[in-house]
Amino acid sequence: MHEFIIIFHALWQLLAGIIKEFWWILLPFLLFWIFKSLLKKYQQILKIEDSQYSCLEIKFSAEAAQKPLQFLELFFNSLKNIKLEDNQNISLEIVGKDKLLRFILRVPIKIRDLISIALYSQYPNITIVEINDYLNDLPPYIPNKNYDLWYKEYKYKKPSPFPILTYESFFNIQSQMKTAPKDALEQIIFDPYSTLLELLQKAQSQDLIIIQIVIRNLNDLEKQEWDFISKTIYNPLIGKEPPQKPAALGSKILKDFISSMIPAVSSRSSENKGEKPKTLTENDKQLAEKVENKINGINFVTSIRVAYIWPRNHKTEVIPSSLELFIKQFNTTTNALEEISDQNSQLKISKWLPAKKVPQNDNYLKLKERRQNKEVMIMSAKELASLFHFPLQNIYFSSIIWEKNKRGFPPQNLPIIHN
């Protein structure tokens, strides 16, 4: 044992002597490791700064509520020219807070001014105010001992080329009633937001109601797949053969549709091979026109979610069912929005590892971070303008923040009195 200590002491002295004489050789390696670690942290900070978001609240005037919704559709059309970085998106949010309905856009800071310009170009009478993110006022994790959360995500029931209810129907859905007086037909307006306004009357002041519509532009691969799937749906509607299945389609957005629809379409086309094309009915023509209008328009990758956050033991029972009713108002025979049923089910990590349950607060993190849903939709600018629009001024909206007088600049050549 004593010999071992002597040998260890001698080796330690030798090592200490080498370090003392040649420490400067090791210094670059040590500094490189420190520099690499600091550089990595700096790049992470830059990435976070680049992806920072800004919340813009829209306060609109009575003039804006009276303008046709085509102006809002033009705003969404203009978003196709605004480029987003990878993993960035725009969130259109309808928020019920303090018994008031608020309209908020959460956008990357880099395009904040472009979004404002695009909105002002269509609605010069609105006011856009930058605000703090209202979700930052809440705890980092919900549900907890103080707050509870009700949450749902939605997807299309049918493939994306089939549209849901759009704003043109707001004006004629009631006018089809034969019992309505002829003079009143043009004045009858249906606005889905009436459900939200009634809901706010029953909500408590601490209730937080959220509707998020998260959008982004399609990338190049998604555009190719969207074009293929659109033709696969549209061609049979007008009696044409569907396109041939491409060799590879890799996007997650349309993978489920391809795997489920293409075999059916291919088999159906092979069965009908050699047969005369069927005569299109009036319903077929109308459906084909709706699909054609959507696929020829501007479309976005879209996720829709609704949430209700309330203080524990103070739940307003009518709110969840009312939010579901609001979403269902956009359903038609053409297409519908339905709940993503497996959003709280088990999530498989890989085929080799066992399934892992989604944490309870994962839904709240998706809400707070404005993530895309697991199953997304391709939604047109017209559909977005139908879901997210300024309430039509057909009833008195006491629960909406109106901008009665827009602040403007002083007139030019104003006389100035010098003392």
Cβ neighbours around 158 below 10 Å, total: 16
> What is the C-alpha separation between 13 and 5, in angstroms, rounded?
12
pLDDT of residue 370: 92
pLDDT of residue 256: 53
pLDDT of residue 194: 84
- Reduced to 3 states (helix: H, G, I; strand: E, B; else coil), residue 327 is helix
Burial annotation 307-338 (CB, 10 A radius, 16+ → b, else e): bbbbeeeeebeebbebbeebbebbeeebbbbe
Read off the tokens for 194: 């009436």
Q: In the CATH hierarchy, which fold is given to the domain comprising 51-221+287-344+359-387?
A: Vanillyl-alcohol Oxidase; Chain A, domain 3 (3.40.462)
Q: Which residues pair with 93 in a beta bridge?
A: 104, 212
Q: Where does 109-248 show beta strands of DSSP type E?
A: 127-131, 147-156, 208-216
Residue 366 contacts residue 296 (beta carbons within 8 Å): no
Residue 389's nearest CA partner among 101, 48, 49, 45 is 101
pLDDT (tens digit, 0 to 9) for every residue of the chain, 419 residues total? 667 677 777 777 777 777 777 666 767 777 777 777 777 766 655 554 445 899 999 988 777 777 888 899 999 999 998 888 878 899 999 999 888 889 999 999 999 999 999 999 999 988 999 999 999 889 888 988 999 999 999 999 999 999 999 988 876 644 444 444 544 444 456 788 888 888 888 888 899 999 999 999 998 888 888 988 888 888 888 878 877 766 655 555 555 555 445 444 444 444 445 555 567 677 878 888 899 999 999 999 999 999 999 998 889 999 999 999 999 999 999 999 999 975 543 333 333 334 444 455 689 999 999 999 989 999 999 999 999 988 775 554 555 555 555 555 555 555 555 55
Burial annotation 44-78 (CB, 10 A radius, 16+ → b, else e): eeeeeeeeebbbbbbbbbeebbebebebbbebbbb
Instruction: Spell out the residues 6+ positions from residue 156 whose beta carbon is closer than 8 angstroms to its own.
Output: 162, 164, 335, 336, 337, 338, 377
Helices 252-271 and 220-237: angle between axes, nearest 10 degrees: 30
Q: Measuring CA to CA, how many Å separate 214 from each of 19, 196, 252, 297?
A: 59, 19, 17, 19
pLDDT of residue 402: 53
pLDDT of residue 187: 47
Residue 406's nearest CA partner among 193, 129, 95 is 129
- What pTM does this model have? 0.74
Q: Which residues pair with 311 in a beta bridge?
A: 147
Is the preceding omega at residue 143 within 30 degrees of 0, hence cis? yes
Read off the tokens for 294: 């959507």
| DSSP conformational letter for 281 | P
pLDDT of residue 355: 41
Cβ neighbours around 166 below 10 Å, total: 22
pLDDT of residue 397: 53
> What is the C-alpha separation between 21 and 260, in angstroms, rounded?
71
Q: Which residues pair with 100 in a beta bridge?
A: 97
